[in-house]
Structure 1
Amino acid sequence: MKTRLICAALIATAANASVAADWADTSIGYRYGTKFGEPFGSNDIHKHILDLNHASGYAYGSNFFNADVLLSDKKDPSSPNSGSGATEVYIVYRHTLDFGKISGSKIGFGPVRGVGLTAGFDANVKVDAGYNSRKQMLVAGPTLMMDVPGFLNVSLLALKESNAPYNKFTGTATPRYDYKTHLMLTAAWGIPLGKLPLAFEGFVNYIASKGRDEFGAATAPEFNFDGQVMYDVGAASGAPGKFKVGLEYQYWRNKFGNAYKGASGSGAFAKTPMIRAEYHF
């Protein structure tokens, strides 16, 4: 119930922010790959991913919201001995206050065009044969907005994460467990590639160890790079920014803090090429 309330609040916040926005971009998207990984499982899982993405800016800062629905094949089963795959919903929300906009004076230095404070949270629900994640995570920390074509934002965020997995097939319930507060160095970007209707977009996260997990095992530092080169199909037909297609690549080591050299195995280390398409409205 708590996760549902969080998800509803995020959606409402994103919707309300867009009403008074100076600019806004909302899209629905699809991507597909055959080399996804899951800790304690396979690293050649096929997944179809549907997403809703919203970004907007207003007088004092910006908002970002993304909801992914991830549909696995049977290598990541929905239940023991199942012929169907797991389903996951993963939501991210970030709000950044721009100190320059708040003060009315430009705050920048060297390659930095602005300074801000970012806060938000992640939440997920997954139905699978084992862990059944119910992640909740609050994030907050400073952000540097770099002076580049498009945007490049670099943040150092403190993470307060918890989970309460429940395996309905074995009846094993784990009370909500709080990991050690830890740091994430993260960057997100969208940079045009010359005069072509191409852009390099994505994010990269380095996440420090979050201490012991709910079963007493040590967690590992996590590295996740996800980048795509997108072609603006609409630019050639007089409707730029409406429909984009491209190639995406994800490199995810020690997924969710599970050490791939330990018991979680090769499924905690994925190198995943994908195809991607987006419709913006």
Structure 2
Amino acid sequence: MRLATSLTALAAALLAPAVQAADWSDTSIGFRTGNKFAEPFGSNDIKKNIINLTHASGYKYGTNFFNADFLMSDSKDPSSAGSSDGAHEVYIVYRHTLDLGAVTGSSFKYGPMRGLGLTAGFDANTKTDAGYNSKKRMLVLGPTVMFDVPGFLNVSLLLLKESNAPYNTFTNTSTPRYTYKTHPMLTASWGIPVSQSIPLTFEGYANFIASKGDNEFGGDTKAETNIDMQLMYDVSTLFGSKNKFKMGIEYQYWKNKFGNPTTARGAGAGPGATAKTPMIRAEYHF
């Protein structure tokens, strides 16, 4: 948790100069819950409650995005060997996209493309789970195409440099930090109004991640698909406001989670390596 606090502080420091000169910003606290989460080598019927802090902002030369999820599992994802307490996890994402048109003074608008950017950032997590606790660290870099749609639709091709240092409380075994093969990810993020007359938006992201080579134990990793989609209704419009309080439904499909191959129960990572998770979600924006 100290690491998570440090990473959050680092991201805040990176955000601060851009926020001070922001043309726009949106910060929210959210909650979502579901009972069909899954973990590799574990159960695929885990209940999790998730609290998130999210910030997005834009300034003259680009945009920032930061998200910190605090995930609280039930006992099917135990915090340690033999424990009846569920694991806790903090997962942090930071992205900065530099608008190449704004920087160079040139237009990259062509057909459906509104602009072109360069995205850099990181992912990091820490978790108290019994079996793995990966301590993931990942740097990302690559081009982003910004499409001309209502709301936004951005598609990026990023190179990923990922490492972990797992600790297994069942065997009391720690593994030195291990760096995977550099590998690509095709990713999209979007927030698009469904109609002009209904305050409903279709939001989410989709990550298609190539295999990252052998894992720290010499086994193969598999290509990974992680799609998270939400339909969010702006409840605050019923009270004369806008973009303050949103509620909706969410669905996540995550195949070969963290590159672990989905297998039959009792073999490899088991069916828990693929999650199909419906959720309900609420957000307060300020």
What TM-score comes out, normalization by structure 1 length?
A: 0.97
> Is the partner of 2:19 in helix, strand or coil?
helix
- 1:30/1:278 contact within 8 Å kept: yes
Structure 2, gaps ≥5 residues long = none
Q: Offset of 1:10 from its aligned partner? A: 1.3
| Deviation of 1:2 (Å) | 6.8
What residue in structure 2 maps to residue 276 of structure 1? 281
| Letter matched to residue 185 of structure 1 | L
CA distance in structure 2 between the aligned counterparts of 1:167 and 1:15, rounded to whole angstroms: 37
User: Partners of 1:66 and 1:97 in 2: how far apart?
Assistant: 18
**Displacement, 1:79?**
1.1
Give the conservation status (yes or no) of the 8 Å contact 2:122–2:137: yes
Where in structure 1 are there 5+ consecutive unaligned residues?
Answer: none
Superposed, 1:1-281 pairs within 5 Å as 5-168=6-169, 170-195=171-196, 196-261=198-263, 263-281=268-286
Give the SS at the match of 1:17: helix
1:190, 1:200 within 8 Å by CA — same for their partners in 2?
A: yes
Query: Aligned in 2, Cα 1:112/1:127: closer, same or farther, shift over 3 Å?
Result: same
Deviation, 1:84, is 0.9
- Does the 8 A contact of 1:14 with 1:54 survive in 2? no
Aligned residues: 281
Task: Tell me if structure 2 keeps the 8 A contact 1:55–1:63.
Answer: yes
Query: Residues of 2 paired with 1:92 and 1:12: CA distance?
Result: 14
Superposed CA deviations along residues 71-105 of structure 1, whole A, max 9, x for unmatched, are 00000001112111000000000000001111233
Instruction: Identify which range, 256-265 or 120-129, moves more after superposition.
Output: 256-265
| Identical residues among aligned pairs (%) | 66
Secondary structure at 1:240's aligned position in 2? coil
Q: Would you say the 8 A contact 2:3–2:126 is kept in 1?
A: no
TM-score, normalised to structure 2, is 0.95
RMSD over aligned Cα, in angstroms?
Answer: 1.3
Deviation by residue 1:220-241 (Cα, 9 ceiling, x = unmatched): 0000100000000011211100
Structure 2 contact 81–169 (Cα < 8 Å) conserved: no
Deviation of 1:129 after TM superposition, in Å, equals 1.0
